[in-house]
Chain A
Amino acid sequence: MTVTRDDIVDFVYEEARMLDEGRFSEWLDLWLPEGHYWMPLDYKQTDPHNMTSLLYEDDFMRKLRVERLNGERTFSQKPKSRCNHVIQRPFVDKFDAEAGEFETNTSMHYVETRLDEQFLLALTATHELKLVDGKLRIANKRVDLLNSDAAFGNIQLLP
């Protein structure tokens, strides 16, 4: 497969659509097992290990999060939350077709709702993608909330 810039951009759009449509199992399959989903707590945080983050999820935690959403006794998801990403066209910051490594930077507005509550987050998502066996996969993803240091209520789905 020859990867084009459009393929990279489409990938980011399609991932957002999967999350919005609740196709979480498909979303899990986008990931390379050793990848991390990182959402820093501090503005421009550089270290995910020695200070707190909002998320720094390996494949076990990603799977647990998704499994829990459908659990019989997951009371905070009865009723379920819904989410919506409105995304700006991604910047392709790295395009190394030879190595099969790509990086994007995407501004998004994320809305999550449950019952009568709804909130909006502005964020920048950074995707590191790799071409493995002819398919684009997520090697790492970082989500920087514009107000990561603000006090939030529950954020139950995936910004």
Chain B
Amino acid sequence: MEMRDLVALGDKLLDIDEAKFRQVVELLEQMNEHPDIQRTIAVIRPRLVELRLHRRPTLKRLFCDPFEDLFEALGKADPVPLSVIERSLMNSLWPLVEAEIGKDRLRSFRPALQDGPQRKALTEAFWAECGSAVARIAEGATAGHYSDALELRMNPARMRALTDIATILSIAPEVAEMKAALSPKPVPKLHADHVEAIQAVGRRVTRARPEALKIFVLIATSRLSDPTVLLSGLWDMDLGQKPADRAALFMALSGTVVAQMEDRSRAFRSAPGTDRMAVADLALDLVASLDATRAAMEHSRNKDFDQRLKEVRNSVHAMVKTQVLQDADAGIVAAIGALDGGSEGRAQLAQAENQARALRKCATIADTLGLRGELREMTQKTTASLTEKAQQALGGPAGNARTGYTAIRMIELIAGPAEANKIMDGIMNGGRR
């Protein structure tokens, strides 16, 4: 197959079967350095991650290993790292690192890609050398200016990312150890052995490079499904710091966590008509994060974040109100009427079921968000319309039983089985069954 054919395939590669996909990836890997191929790989990266393909080991991949957890998230549902490193920055950076180290010297690191007795030592030496190279490159870049070498404008975020990469590479062996303990990613819950590993490795980082501890903790959080999980445990962790440093680290991490929550709470604000279930899931996540962050703040007794947390709560409140509660009844009741509409009707029904589930999901957070009254009103209104529909369909001889049962199902999804069973019994006892 010609290279241009491979590139022309582009996003079609996302749909081909798995065996063929693996073959194509192998071919692409052989010509990896070409910019077109890199673009194609960027397109298919979500699928590469999903299939967990074992990619060909290269020095570039080894270079990225310590900080890969901070790359921007690929899927919408993936946890977003608290401190992001752009893939494009890394792609521009690697040739400069190669040039800094020199071809001959790089060649001597190649055995690090294969299993062997010298692998560990070589890998660590490689990371150390790369770290110094990146630090030199970072010194040469000026904030706010265009960097000819990197072919990128060096905004503050990129400057920070460069320094972060250099710092992470300097503690790469410790990061590797922590990554092994927090596997597989994402870790949904911190267990005692996770905490112990973070503490043990963290103490070593504090002793060797205290300034690297913050980024070390950030990498640890990016391996969790929710960064607030670590935040709530962080106060009790002994990472070998002085109390003042501990408080400073806690505040820095809290600030990053809250900033991320602020971003996430804004995500759906400008996109009405999105999947209501996704909004409900996000709202639940954010409320859980809010609770965890508030609980963590209790330890530090710092009131600085109160206002920001309040704003996040207000954002979530608005999001649930406008995108889950508003007009929920109209969509759900209309779908019952569209039952006979073939495949389109089925899709509408599935969407209505999602709306109903979203309503019910939000019941668990309605109190926290101060939406209890609105939710109850919407639930009662929708249930009343659906009960009427069910009554018409199941109560009389001319009704369509399927419509009736679907209405009952919707009531169940919104108000729970007890309510639905009660209504069903009421209808059935008054008519046929």
A and B: real partners? no
Binding site for A on B (CB under 8 A): none
